[in-house]
Amino acid sequence: MAATPIAVITGASSGIGAATARTLAAAGFRVVLTARRKDRIEALAAEITKAGHQATAYPLDVTDRAAVDEFATAFRSLAVLVNNAGGALGADPVATGDPADWRQMYETNVIGTLNVTQALLPALTASGDGTVVILSSTAALSSYEGGGGYVAAKHGEHVLAETLRLEIVGTPVRVIEVAPGMVRTEEFATTRFRGDTEKAAKVYAGVDAPLTAEDVADTIGWAVTRPSHVNIDLLVVRPRAQASNTKVHRTL
């Protein structure tokens, strides 16, 4: 009897990461949930297990390379890695942006993705059929005012995905990049604006049906479960009301 394929999801404590964990678990993967918030991922693992699926919680800060390397020792073989951990801080122009915010965004979005991918790539390769998913953003493809630091970090993730795909071609590992546009989750915009819920709400004001975390998770689940020879290099997903990062239809 074949072993249940394992999928690791970073940033699984909320939003897209949590929704992806539920989606992949329902698709037959044993999901390993990582995030810094131990209570959140343990509660999600219990929920998934209660639903009849397989889930394990592992508290992890993806920017801590020693911790990531220790985590990776648990896997001889791995089917899927979903690099979801990341996020945005602030919306200041380049002229006044806080370098500490830029550094933190780069560390989480780019170095965190690099750390986990490097550490788990041997196990993904050993599986004979591995998939690396990098969750970037439409910010990885075009800029917008007030987004300099986040855009720079997401461009870094995009280039990481492109370069890795070039470098490991010929190995049994796919590299998939999913780039969502406007997604309304419980934390993304609130975290960006440091808890200012009024500012966070304005991001989505008047927008008919922004994407949900479940929409993006469904997209990731579809991409991951394509036949092994099919690689979805880059999948951009936006709500119908959004034509670009700067063109959004609002009814106010």
Output the CA angle 8-9-15, nearest 5 degrees: 165
Question: How far from 86 is each of 15, 58, 231, CA to CA, in Å?
Answer: 11, 17, 23
Sorted by sequence, the CB contacts under 8 Å of residue 129 that are 6+ apart come out as: 79, 172, 228
Reading the block at residue 168, the tokens are 């490991």
Mean pLDDT of 76-92: 95
Q: Using the predicted structure, report yes or no on whether residue 93 has a pLDDT greater than 90.
A: yes
pTM, 2 dp: 0.95
Higher-pLDDT residue of 73, 202: 73
* pLDDT tens digit sequence for 123-137: 999 999 999 999 999
Mean pLDDT across the stretch 141-168?
A: 97
- Give bridge partners of residue 130 from the DSSP assignment: 173
150 is known as an active-site residue: yes
Closest CA to 45 of 12, 68, 71: 12
Tens digit of pLDDT for each residue in 170-226?
Answer: 999 999 999 999 999 877 878 888 887 888 888 899 999 999 999 999 999 999 999
Mean pLDDT for the stretch of residues 138-146: 96
Asked if 7 contacts 31 with a C-beta cutoff of 8 angstroms, the reply is: yes
> What is the distance between the alpha carbons of residues 168 and 130, in angstroms, rounded to a whole number?
12
pLDDT at 126: 98
pLDDT digits 0-9 by tens, 25-35: 999 999 999 99
Q: Which of 58, 144, 150, 204 is catalytic?
A: 150
